[in-house]
Chains A and B, each alone.
Chain A
Amino acid sequence: MARVAVVDYGLCNVDSVLRALSQCGAQAYLAHDATDIKTADKIVLPGVGAFDAAMAELTRADLISPLADAVLAEQVPFLGICLGMQLLARSSEEGGAAGGLDWFDAHVRRIQPGIDERVPHVGWNEVDHDESSPILAGIPTRTDFYFVHSYHLECSEPDEVIATTPFAGRVTAVVGRGTVFGVQFHPEKSQQFGLRLLANFLAVTA
């Protein structure tokens, strides 16, 4: 049973993520410090809320280096959810001061809605992909997942964008490089296919 660290930095509902991972057969636990990160087979960074507040919390809890070591150096598989995906970026338009984890060459910007669209982007929307990524195995393209966000991740590397969703033109839905993944939507709230995605993540090996 894989030990999956769910980073708890006090900003959001981690229960749902824990439960969903447990349902998929993982031994999920809350990670608060470096030791918790070091002993993980896989790491999930959930997140809801403000970019700056999140980075400040991660800094205060001294989690940034341990995370970078585990994920980038030791290639412990990583999944960022919602804000957790946005934190992968270099910087964000939101707030202003803090930089992100800077693991992806990307920037977080506020969504610019099209005519008849409203922000936040909230509700179920299609995730379009070419069915080549292991993280989306068994999930047909155009499957709906649950989104709720006002900012989106703009990646400089198109290869790192695994899936997009039709909103405000297109916004990034899934990013990935090697064993590092990010999803803008909430798999733990997206019922059957959300659980499938988490199961796929659990199957990722270094």
Chain B
Amino acid sequence: MLKTRIIPTLLYRDFGLVKGVGFDSRRAIGNPLQAIKVYEMRGVDELIFLDVRATLEGRGPDFALIDDLADECFMPLTVGGGVRGVDDVRGLLRVGADKVAINTGLIECPGLVRDAADQFGSQCIVASIDVRRRADGAVTVWTRSGTNDTGRDLVEVAVEAERDGAGEILVTSADADGTLGGYDLESIGRVACAVGIPVIASGGAGTSEHFVEALGAGASAVAAAAMFHFTEQTPLEGRRHIGAAGYPVRR
């Protein structure tokens, strides 16, 4: 049986890894290489690495950085941040990414997902969609590290991404991010029902029970950042917990 994946997420900004609450990522937490090696020693399922300021700072992916990190990373690695053209995708795959996440590019670079999927195959392309609840209660898609409200509906953007050839959807609640209070289950559920490709839940995980909730809502995999950085919980414990809840996991 296909095993459920638990995916630690590393957020990078300026000089190192960061973590924050609600996408306000100002707290430096350490050295990316160190974090990667620790996860690798634990045999995690996959890693997601996001350069959270690339688009805001008007630059593309930092290939040299990813090259260095990928050299140390013997696990499946998804890299995102600042991907706006097919060359960015090619460059990242070339230096060591297995999959490339496209976030702001989904909205601002029409045709990118289609072109990249045609060239490199759907399985390399992860459509990364951040959502926030607006003051009026509507949940919309936000880009540029959660600073720009596109006004668009989550499901509409997800379905479009799938149609264009994305292989997976990463749904992140910018509001829940870093709160350790649980995922935005409603958003995850809506997307999981609307698409036929795997959905990765992200933003808000604080306990392994949150993983079970997200899987119950239809996610195929669960991502977490703050939970692994700031609590004593490890991905392996998460695996045991969801295994006990009946989901297939790696031994």
**B65 close to A (CB within 8 Å):** no
Closest residue of A by beta carbon distance from B4:
A123
Given A15-B95, A48-B120: A120 touches B1 (CB 8 Å cut-off) = no
B221 contacts which chain A residues (CB < 8 A)? 123
Within 8 Å by CB of B98, from A13, A113, A118, A119, lies A13
* Inter-subunit contact B45/A118 (CB<8 Å): no
Within 8 Å by CB of A118, from B95, B118, B119, B196, lies B196
**B250 close to A (CB within 8 Å):** yes
Closest residue of A by beta carbon distance from B43:
A191
- The CA of A83 and the CA of B1, in the complex, are separated in Å by 22
**A200 close to B (CB within 8 Å):** no
Majority secondary structure of chain A interface residues (helix, strand, loop or mixed): mixed
**A137 close to B (CB within 8 Å):** no
**B-binding segment of A61-69, A146-154, A156-164, A175-183:** A146-154
* Inter-subunit contact A124/B198 (CB<8 Å): no
Given A118-B220, A121-B2, A124-B250: A13 touches B121 (CB 8 Å cut-off) = no
Within 8 Å by CB of B198, from A19, A83, A118, lies A118
* Inter-subunit contact B119/A50 (CB<8 Å): yes
* Inter-subunit contact B74/A189 (CB<8 Å): yes
* Inter-subunit contact A11/B96 (CB<8 Å): no
- The CA of A118 and the CA of B195, in the complex, are separated in Å by 9
> Shortest Cβ distance from B158 into chain A, in angstroms?
13
B98 contacts which chain A residues (CB < 8 A)? 13, 16, 48, 148, 186, 189
Chain B interface size range: 35 or more
Closest residue of A by beta carbon distance from B74:
A191
Q: A38-62 CB contact bits vs B (8 Å, 1 = yes)?
A: 0000000000111001000000000
> Shortest Cβ distance from B21 into chain A, in angstroms?
29
Within 8 Å by CB of B123, from A113, A120, A167, lies A120
Given A15-B70, A19-B71, A189-B76: A120 touches B197 (CB 8 Å cut-off) = yes
**A36 close to B (CB within 8 Å):** no
* Inter-subunit contact A191/B123 (CB<8 Å): no
* Inter-subunit contact B95/A150 (CB<8 Å): no
**A27 close to B (CB within 8 Å):** no
Within 8 Å by CB of A122, from B70, B168, B251, lies B168
Given A19-B71, A148-B98, A149-B123: A123 touches B196 (CB 8 Å cut-off) = no
* Inter-subunit contact B76/A148 (CB<8 Å): yes
- The CA of A19 and the CA of B74, in the complex, are separated in Å by 9
**A202 close to B (CB within 8 Å):** no
- The CA of A39 and the CA of B53, in the complex, are separated in Å by 46
Interface residues of B (CB under 8 A from A): 1-5, 43, 45-46, 67, 70-71, 74-76, 93-99, 118-124, 167-168, 196-198, 220-221, 250-251
Q: Return 6 A-B CB contacts under 8 Å, by A number.
A: A11-B119, A12-B93, A15-B96, A146-B76, A148-B76, A191-B75
